[in-house]
Amino acid sequence: MILTLKHYGGSNGKPANIIELLVTGYNSMILEEITKLDGTVDKCLIYSLKGIVNDLEKQNELIKENG
């Protein structure tokens, strides 16, 4: 699985107008716009992604310790 961000409309240090998250799997793709109308990204999404990263890192640590 590959996660990719696409930024539209931003350049020279200016923020993007739109950010899309592309999730590419073995047999599927999901494209989701993650910016709100004002160009911000929802804080709940950001916290969720941070939580997912922490969970995945913990999983790998546990495998390494118990493997």
Task: Determine the average pLDDT of the residues in 56-63.
Answer: 97
pLDDT 10s digits, 16-51: 999 999 999 999 999 999 999 999 999 999 999 999
Task: Give the residue ranges of DSSP H helices in 1-67.
Answer: 43-66
Task: Say what the pTM is.
Answer: 0.81
Rounded CA separation 48/63 (Å): 23
Task: Determine the average pLDDT of the residues in 6-16.
Answer: 92
The rounded Cα 60 to chain-centroid distance in angstroms is 19
Task: Determine the average pLDDT of the residues in 5-25.
Answer: 94
Query: Is the pLDDT at 67 greater than 80, yes or no?
Result: no
Contact 8, 18 (CB under 8 A): yes
The predicted pLDDT at position 10 comes to 85
